[in-house]
Structure 1
Amino acid sequence: MKRLTAPLIGLIALALPLAIALTYLWIDPALAQTVTEAEPATTSAHADLAMIGAAIAAGLASLGAAYAVAMVGSAAVGALTEKPELLGRLLILVGLAEGIAIYGLIVAVLILNTV
């Protein structure tokens, strides 16, 4: 079985929250049309779906970022043992891998902003 590389995991972790957010935005107008003053349960269901979507977006992005940082970090430590002058460049690579979690958090905040 072929191992997934860190960039592929990062791409998946970035694509999943965006797909969830776009699906939520696509469903949102249909939910907004069904909400009336007589049906407060629909509003509660709308908020529940938003909370679930935000949790999935932040959680999966964090898992993807953790895997990417583990792969990039271990490779960076190996490279640093041979060439210590690469520290600055390798820190940038680890920071880029960690940025995936920030993207998931931003998507989660955007979803929760609509509630």
Structure 2
Amino acid sequence: VTDSSKVFPPRRASKPLTEVREFDLNVDRRGEMRKEFEKRRADKEAMMEAEKREEERRRQEEEQRELKELRQSMTIKARPVPESVYTAVQEIQRSTKPLTEPISPHFRTDMRLRSRV
């Protein structure tokens, strides 16, 4: 019977011991990328919504301004009396055209009356 400790004595390895590191799963990286994407998208949507609200506000102000101008233009305003009313009355001149010479109309009733008799 042989002694097993003398037959194969183990030697110490010259390699350093393996360091245990935290492993990195692709799912975790993908989750972080998705969070960043969602944040960028939310920021973009918020910015677009703010622009839309600002545009709507500007449009409302423009409509209000146009409506105010329309109402002001629709009010009745008296015109001043022309100066010609207060100046001396101008003398009316007679027309140089000749008067119209009247002529009797030639109705067909005269012929009908004559044809019946």
Please indicate the TM-score interval, normalised by the length of the shorter structure: 0.3 to 0.5
**When the two structures are superposed, what TM-score results if normalisation uses the length of structure 1?**
0.37
**When the two structures are superposed, what TM-score results if normalisation uses the length of structure 2?**
0.37
Q: Which has the larger radius of gyration?
A: 2
Structure number with the higher helix fraction is: 1
Between 1 and 2, higher relative CO (CA 8 Å, sep ≥ 6) is seen in 1
